[in-house]
Structures are given as structure tokens and as C-alpha cells.
């Protein structure tokens, strides 16, 4: 109901005038809209959410993936996002060996640079989404434009807010 504050990593609506928002500071905000602009969604996609299927689960509420347009907002870039082998293994367990393409060996053994944008694009493509834009910014590397939890520790958040306009 309107006014309740649910705890979720994604939300969707088909009601004009109902805003949806997600807060991020290195994780990936993802916006979905159908071609007729009658339904939209927004998702918070960190590595945990991506490996758990947050994007695929969000798609279930929006109809045919081929009719969707998806925008990938600002997030930490692959060169700046080092993770442990446990993260790589979680994605391989969830998606198979194809996930390995979104990781590069880091400087130390057992460390990898994860590509959140690549992981999101891979999940969307496997689900049938053909129109994806964005995905070319780095929250850590652009301090003049974005907050970054990895850069600053305690920091602010960016809000991605979307809304269907009344017709």
C-alpha cells in the first residue's frame, strides 16, 4: 500500500505518478521500462543481488524481456572493484563458467576484478533483454560526480528515482 516502506532490492509499478527509488554508492542502479511505458522497475544490484538473480526476478513483473529498455546507472568499474575468489565462485555456481568472462585476475592470488556492468548485461542477455544502455561510469573514479563507499567508507548515497508519467 502507498505509504508503507518495504525492504527490498527492487520495486516495480504500473501506476502513473508512483515514484520508485533506489539508493546506491558503488552498487549498480538498474532501471527497466516496457516499450509502451506502462510499467517500470528499479533495482539495486550489488554483487550479492546480481548473483542471487535480482535482475531476472525483477523481469518477471514486466512482461516480455524483448519489449524492455534497461538503463545501467553509475557503479564501481571493473578496474576499481576487487573481490575475493568466493565472489567468482558464487557467480560460477549461479551461472556456470560463462560468468568467468566478467572477472579479471587481480594483482594478488585469489583476488579478481569483478565487472558489475558485465555481470548485469550477461544476466539481462540470458533473460532475453536486447536493449541495454548506460554502464560506462565509475563511482570510485569520479569523486566530483559520485559518492563511493569503497573510496570514502562512510558516505552519502545517490538516488535513482523513476516514475511513470500520467497519460
Within 10 Å of residue 101's Cβ, how many Cβ atoms? 11
Task: With beta carbons less than 8 A apart as the criterion, state whether 158 and 29 touch.
Answer: yes
> What does the pLDDT look like over 69-104, one tens digit per residue?
999 999 999 999 999 999 999 999 999 999 999 999
> What does the pLDDT look like over 96-151, one tens digit per residue?
999 999 999 999 999 999 999 999 999 999 999 999 999 999 999 989 998 898 88
Residue 23 has pLDDT above 80, yes or no: yes
Distance CA 122, CA 128 (A): 10
pTM score of the predicted model: 0.92
Amino acid at each position: 500500500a502507498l505509504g508503507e516502506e518495504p525492504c527490498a532490492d527492487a520495486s516495480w509499478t504500473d501506476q502513473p505518478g508512483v515514484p520508485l527509488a533506489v539508493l546506491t554508492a558503488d552498487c549498480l542502479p538498474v532501471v527497466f521500462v516496457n516499450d509502451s511505458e506502462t510499467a517500470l522497475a528499479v533495482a539495486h544490484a550489488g554483487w550479492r543481488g546480481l548473483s542471487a538473480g535480482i535482475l531476472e526476478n525483477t523481469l518477471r513483473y514486466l512482461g516480455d524481456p524483448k519489449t524492455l529498455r534497461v538503463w545501467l546507472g553509475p557503479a564501481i568499474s571493473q578496474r576499481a572493484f576487487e573481490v575475493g575468489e568466493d565472489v567468482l565462485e558464487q557467480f560460477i555456481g549461479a551461472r556456470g563458467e560463462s560468468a568467468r568472462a566478467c572477472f579479471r585476475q587481480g594483482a594478488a592470488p585469489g583476488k579478481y576484478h569483478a565487472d558489475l556492468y558485465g555481470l548485469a548485461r550477461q544476466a539481462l542477455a540470458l533473460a532475453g533483454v536486447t536493449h541495454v544502455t548506460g554502464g560506462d561510469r565509475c563511482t570510485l573514479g569520479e569523486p566530483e560526480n559520485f559518492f563511493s563507499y569503497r573510496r570514502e567508507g562512510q558516505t552519502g548515497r545517490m538516488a535513482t528515482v523513476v516514475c511513470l508519467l500520467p497519460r
